[in-house]
Amino acid sequence: MRRTPRSRKLRRVYVRTPGGRTVVHYEKRKHDVPKCAICKRPLNGFPKLRTKDLRKGHRPPSRIFGGYLCHQCLEKFIVEKVISSYQK
């Protein structure tokens, strides 16, 4: 029988067996949905709860700051930079 790692990287789930014993199962933790770096709202285009394994094939949007900022904060940021460059 292979022993599972006992690190806190894995979450502990207490399972009751049919024999009446309570045993500990170690499972991967669930990750939260990615959030915007400025407004902290969840980014669109991502399922609500994803595990790390499901993210391997995911590609964030190819635009600038894609997967890091939401489109509203990105628009405000770009407009602010354009305005500041014209004022100089």
Instruction: Look at the chain and report how many structural domains it folds into.
Output: 1
pLDDT tens track for 19-76: 999 999 988 887 778 899 999 998 887 766 555 555 555 667 788 888 899 999 999 9
| Closest to 53 (Cα-Cα) out of 21, 74, 73, 27 | 27
Token readout for 16 is 């009751």
Distance CA 64, CA 71 (A): 10
In a domain, 22, yes or no: no
Question: What's the confidence (pLDDT) of residue 73?
Answer: 94
Distance CA 58, CA 66 (A): 12
**pTM value?**
0.58
In a domain, 44, yes or no: yes
In a domain, 4, yes or no: no
Domain span at 64:
31-87
In a domain, 17, yes or no: no
Question: What's the confidence (pLDDT) of residue 30?
Answer: 79
